[in-house]
Amino acid sequence: MFKSIAHLGPPGTHAESAALAYRDWFAKETGQELELHPYPSIPKTLYATAEGKADLVVVPAENSIEGSVTMTMDAIWKLEVLKVQQALILPIFHALISRADNLAAIRQVYSHPQALAQCQYWLEQFLPAAQVIPANSTTEALQHLTEEPQAAAISSERAAQLYNLPVIACPINDYPDNYTRFWVLSLQPSPGGNCTSLAFSVPANVPGALVKTLQIFAHRGINLSRIESRPTKRSLGDYVFFIDLEANATEAFVQSALDELKTHTEILKIFGSYNLLPI
C-alpha cells in the first residue's frame, strides 16, 4: 500500500497543494495517511520515486496557459518505469510577494519558469525594468527576499502565509482561467481509466510518418485530447510525440490501436490509463 508521496518543494508550492489535495482524497478512499516528501526540483521528485524512495509522486503535467511542463515530459520519457495512477486539476493563482515598499522599488523578480511565463504580460506592464530570474520552485524563490530588499517573488498566497511575507498584488497571472493538470505516478501498474497517456518516436523524419500514426486512432474513432512534440536531444528535427487519448488502454479496440502503433514507431512508451479525480 502507498505510504509516501513526493512533490516539488519547499512547502508552499502549487505541487504541494496538489499533493495535499490528493492526500485528502486518498485518506477518504482508504482511511490511510500519506506522508509528504518535498524535493528541490521536478526531475528529482520523479527520480526519487523511480528509485523507491517515495511510493507516489505528484508533478505538474500541463498548464492551460503555457502547455506541457517540459521538465516533467522529458523526465518521464527518460525514466519510462513510472505509471500514471490518477490526474487532478487545480486552479492556479499567482501572487507577487516582496518586502519592498512598493512596485517601483522592485528590481528583481524570482520564480519558477512556468510561473514567470504565466505572468509575463503583467510583469511587462507593472515591472518592465525588473530583472526576471528563474528558480527551481515558486517557494524557493522566496528565499531571496530576506537578503535582497529590492527583490520580489511570484508564489502563492498560501506560501506567503506560511513564511509570513507580505503580498503586493494577487492574482497577477495573465489569464484568470489558469489551471494546471497534475499527474500522480508510481512504480505500480496503472489502474485503468478513461484517459491514456503515451509517447513515441518515429523511425525517420519523412513525409507522412506522423500522419500514419494518427490515422490509427482516427480510423477507430479514438479522440486525441492532446498532442505535443519534444526534441529527442539526438539531433535537430528529431522529436518525441506525447499524446493523450480519451480511451482506456484495457479495451480491446484501444489495445488493437496500440499494437498497430508499435509497427509505425521507433520507440513507444505507454504511461498508463487513469481517471481525473473529482477534486
Q: Say yes or no to pLDDT of 237 above 80.
A: no
pLDDT at res. 80? 84
Tens-digit pLDDT profile for residues 109-133: 999 999 999 999 999 999 999 999 9
Burial of 156 (0-12, 13-18, 19+ CB in 10 A): buried
- The pairing of strands 267-276 and 83-91 is parallel
Q: What is the second-level CATH architecture of the domain 95-169?
A: 3-Layer(aba) Sandwich (3.40)
* Cβ atoms of 224 and 214 closer than 8 Å: yes
Q: Which helix (H) or strand (E) holds 147?
A: helix 144-147
Is the pLDDT at 207 greater than 90, yes or no?
no
* Beta-strand relationship, 224-231 and 239-245: antiparallel
What percent of the chain has pLDDT above 90? 89
Q: Which residue ranges does the chain devote to CATH 3.40.190.10? A: 4-91+178-186, 95-169
pLDDT of amino acid 209: 81
In the chain, the percentage of residues whose pLDDT exceeds 70 is 99
pLDDT at res. 4: 97
The band of 239, judged by pLDDT with boundaries at 50, 70 and 90, is confident
Average pLDDT over residues 86-90: 97
The whole-number average pLDDT for the span 41-66 is: 96
User: How do residues 157-180 score in pLDDT, each as one tens digit?
Assistant: 999 999 999 999 999 999 999 999
pLDDT at 200: 95
Question: Which CATH number is associated with domain 4-91+178-186?
Answer: 3.40.190.10
- The answer, yes or no, to whether the previous bond of 171 is cis (omega within 30 of 0) is yes
DSSP 213: H
Please tell me the predicted confidence (pLDDT) of residue 269.
96
What average pLDDT does this structure show over 38-58? Answer: 97
Domain 195-274 is of which CATH architecture? Answer: 2-Layer Sandwich (3.30)
Residues of the chain with CATH 3.30.70.260: 195-274
Q: Output the pLDDT for position 246.
A: 97
Q: Is the pLDDT of residue 108 over 80?
A: yes
Q: How confident is the model at residue 99 (pLDDT cuts 50, 70, 90)?
A: very high
Can you tell me the distance from the alpha carbon of 85 to that of 83, in angstroms, rounded to the nearest whole number? 6
Computed over every residue of the chain, the mean pLDDT equals 94
Average pLDDT on 211-220 reads 94
234 band by pLDDT with thresholds 50, 70 and 90: confident
185 pLDDT more than 80: yes
pLDDT mean over 130-144 = 95
Radius of gyration of the chain (CA): 20
Classified as helix, coil or strand, 191 is coil
